[in-house]
Amino acid sequence: MKPHPNVKFLRKGVLPHKFCLGCGCGQVLNYLLYAMQELNLDMNKVVLLGGVGCNSRIPVYLNADAIHGTHGRTLALATGIRLTNPELKVIVITGDGDCFSIGTNHFVQAARRNLDVTVILINNGIFGMTGGQAAPTTPIGSRTSTSPRGSVENVFDMCKLAEAAGATYVSRWTTAHNRSAIRSIKKGIEHKGFSFVEIVSQCPTYFGRYVLKISTEKPLEHLL
Amino acid sequence: MKRFRKISRTHFMLGNHAIVEGAIAAGCRYFAGYPITPASEISEIMSRRMPEVGGRFIQMEDEMGSIFSVIGASLAGAKAMTATASAGFNYMQEGIGLAVTIEAPCVIVDVPRTRQDIQPTEADIMQMKWGASGDYEIICLVASSVQEAFDLTIEAFNFAEQYRNPVVLISEANISHMRGRVEISEQNKIKLVNRKPAKGPPEEYLPFRAGENGVPAMSRFGEGFRVLYTHNPHDERGHILDVESDPNGYEKFYDRICGKITRDADKIARFETRFLDDADLAIVSYGTESTSALESVIRARSEGIKAAYVKLTTVWPVPEKLLKEVTEKVKKIIVPEMNMGKYVNEIRRISCGEAHVVPLCKNNGKMHSPDEILERIRSESR
């Protein structure tokens, strides 16, 4: 049997992944593989950065230099890497909690500097890994494990924030728009300057359970 | 900086400037900082000097930004440094935790100071070692003169590269803002240590396999080794450990990252002793307090009191062998500190009752005068 052409981008010995059934992170990982394949990226010159959260585990599964595991600080790490070696393609894979709760300032400042990195944000509207707490992206009125009477706070529009801060490529799709998302990821990686690709994603386990009150069988429906 | 075009000569230099020149001599080519008194001159001088030597300078958005960008630069292959003062050092704990776990060599200069009046203090001495979460070891050196600020910055880089560990250099506020004589020797006479580079085919490379003295060889980003650096406990391949499938994995991991420092504690220990051979009483000090301590010991000797002077340059890991020797030799140890009595407890721990350990505390932003220490020597030796 011939292996899948994208398998070469995956790190050996780390699979199976830990994403829940129906989670959008697996889809975005797959979109990223297609983007890498179509761009024919030299993985020796790619550095992937993930913070903390379900989405931030994606760099663990990819076969490139990578840092994983500090909450919200990916763009500060990216700054040091990019300034030291301008040949490297730095791709940050982050989530709404990682990038827009704990890491907002680093994101805004890196966008202001128009740092030449690509940020792929997986926005599932909730803190998934820690058990479904409200995030700055949770829709008003949503019941979560830390907003039992419904969230009362306004919601971040992260594309507007990125644009205002100075990002020079900004794009938003959902996990239900696979080809478009792949195209945007490719454009983001090829773009010289700060590029931001938001992919609105589903979290059947917590967002589905607390907010949508639906089963995991129809995870994508609320995105369309 | 034009007036310092020829660096290798004798200068009359600001402490913070000496740190910058020490870093450049050590090969530092990346600096990230965030303004904070009394460390700001390090950033200011770095912003002029880094471009001159082909390095990178960036003013980050906060101290977390500084330390994490320094870690990024280190993994990309640069010798990197940041500088801050007490309150800024709080924020850096998170980055120190990451740097220790993924074994990213870097240097953090801390200029400890009191709040409000920006006076020197030693109140943060325990935080250097115990600030971040998780099990780890740190190397921490303390300068007691402007010359030492230069020399120890080089030493700090050498230790960081040799052990693949973050190293903290303390230059108390009065050293950083003091102008003093600094002799800078020719660059080729300065001993430099560089991290051991990764070799061989990438598919056989184990990024966290203990090499010589427990320290793994290190690749740079972009060399094709495709290393995963994770904050989680990891195995030799760098893969995240699963405690279910490998119950001893965590212990092996922590044993290696701590053991590489603790096993070499005696080699890392830098100190100075005087009059120890026939002494009944010793003054153990570090940092600027040791300048007063030396003066008081010399005066006590002239009065016929058999006092000894012990100055610790390496404070973490604790120079246990030296301190054990001191506690066995003398009956009493006085520990002057610019805090409410902190490092004295490490000496009590080692003394184990062998010698009577007396703290001499002061926390009002001023160092002990030689008279104050001498008075205590007199009363303790009565």
In tens, the pLDDT along B69-79 reads 999 999 999 99
Residue A15 belongs to some domain of the structure = no
Q: How much is the CA Rg of chain A, to the nearest whole Å?
A: 17
Q: Tell me, what's the pLDDT at A36?
A: 95
Closest approach of B67 to chain A, Cα-based (Å):
8
C-beta atoms of B73 and A80 within 8 A: yes
Closest residue of chain B to A15, computed from CA coordinates? B239
Between B342 and A217, the more confident residue is B342
Answer whether residue A173 is part of any domain. Answer: yes
Closest residue to A80, CB basis, from B70, B228, B237: B70
Q: How far apart are CA B301 and CA A146, in angstroms?
A: 68
Residue A45 near residue B208 (C-beta atoms within 8 A): no
Task: Determine the pLDDT at residue A220.
Answer: 64
pLDDT for B83-102, tens place per residue? Answer: 999 999 999 999 999 999 99
Asked if B57 is an interface residue toward chain A (Cβ–Cβ < 8 A), one would say no
The string of pLDDT tens digits covering residues B278-294 is 999 999 999 999 999 99
Which pLDDT score is estimated for A193?
97
Domain extent at residue A78: 21-219
pTM: 0.96
- Segment-wise mean pLDDT, segments of 10 residues, chain A, 224 residues: 88 90 93 96 96 94 95 97 97 96 96 98 94 94 93 95 97 96 98 97 89 67 64
Q: What mean pLDDT do residues B336-341 have?
A: 96
The dihedral built from the CA positions of residue A190, A191, A195 and A198, taken in this order, carries a sign that is negative
pLDDT of residue A2: 85
- Compute the mean pLDDT over every residue in chain B, rounded to the nearest whole number: 95
ipTM above 0.90, yes or no: yes
Residue (of B257, B262, B220) closest to B236 by Cα position: B257
Calpha distance B209→B258 (Å, rounded): 14
| Best residue of B34, B60, B75, B221 to probe chain A, by most A CBs closer than 10 Å | B221
CA gap B59, B76 in Å, rounded = 19
Q: Which CATH number fits domain B2-189: 3.40.50.970, 3.20.20.70, 3.30.530.20, 3.40.50.1360?
A: 3.40.50.970
In this prediction, residue B117 carries a pLDDT of 82
A3 occurs within a structural domain? no
Query: What per-residue confidence (pLDDT) applies to B231?
Result: 94
Cα angle value B114/B63/A58 (rounded, 5°) = 150
Closest CA of chain B from A89, distance in Å: 9
Question: Could you tell me the two tokens for B213?
Answer: 């003295």
A211 part of a folded domain: yes
Tell me how far apart the alpha carbons of residues A208 and A222 are, in angstroms, rounded to a whole number: 9
Q: Per residue in B2-44, pLDDT tens?
A: 555 678 899 999 999 999 999 999 999 999 999 999 999 999 9
The answer to the question of residue A89 being in a domain is yes
Q: What pLDDT, on a 0 to 100 scale, did the predictor assign at position A62? A: 96
Helix (H, G, I), strand (E, B) or coil at B243: coil
A-chain residues near B95 (CB < 8 A) = 70, 73
Indicate the SS3 state at residue B165: coil
Banded model confidence at residue B243, pLDDT cuts 50, 70, 90: confident
Would you say A106 and A73 are in contact if contact means Cβ atoms under 8 Å apart? yes
**Strand, helix or coil for residue B33:** strand
Across residues B255-259, what is the average pLDDT? 96
**What is the count of structural domains for chain A?**
1
Share of chain B above pLDDT 70, in %: 99
- Interface touch B76/A76, C-beta < 8 Å: no
DSSP 8-state class, residue A55: G
Q: Indicate which of B28, B56, B69, B133 best probes the interface with A, i.e. most A CBs within 10 Å of its own CB.
A: B69
Residue B54 CB coordination number (10 Å): 7
Question: What's the farthest any 2 CA atoms get from each other in chain A?
Answer: 54
Of A45, A68, A84, the CB nearest to B228: A68
Minimal C-alpha gap between B73 and chain A (Å): 4
**Residue B70 sits at the chain A interface (C-beta within 8 Å):** yes
| pLDDT of residue B1 exceeding 60 | no
Burial B250-276 (b: 16+ CB within 10 A, else e): eeebbebbbebbeebbeebbbbebbbb
Q: B84 near B92, Cβ under 8 Å?
A: yes
Read off the pLDDT band of B244 (50, 70, 90): confident
Return the CATH number of the domain spanning residue range B272-380. Answer: 3.40.50.920
pLDDT score at A217: 60
Q: Which DSSP string corresponds to A99-138?
A: IIIISHHHHHHHHHTT-S-EEEEEE-SSBTTTTSB--TTS
Report the CATH number at residue A201: 3.40.50.970
CATH 3.40.50.920 location in chain B:
272-380
Residue B380 has a CB neighbour count (10 Å cut-off) of 18
Of the residues B204, B205, B228, B242, the best mutation for testing chain A's interface (the one with the most A CB atoms within 10 Å of its CB) is B228
- Going by pLDDT thresholds of 50, 70 and 90, the confidence category of residue B382 is confident
Q: Give yes or no for B51 touching A (CB within 8 A).
A: no
Q: Which residues pair with B79 in a beta bridge?
A: B28
The residues that bridge with B335 in the sheet, in sequence order, are: B359
Q: How far apart are CA B333 and CA B356, in angstroms?
A: 6
Instruction: Estimate the crossing angle of helix B86-102 against helix B63-75, to 10 degrees.
Output: 30
- The tokens for B127 are 């935080």
A16 found inside a domain: no
Residue B68 near residue B74 (C-beta atoms within 8 A): no
pLDDT tens, B164-210? 999 999 999 999 999 999 999 999 999 999 999 999 999 899 999 99
A69, B230: Cβ pair inside 8 Å? yes
Please provide the size of chain B in residues: 382
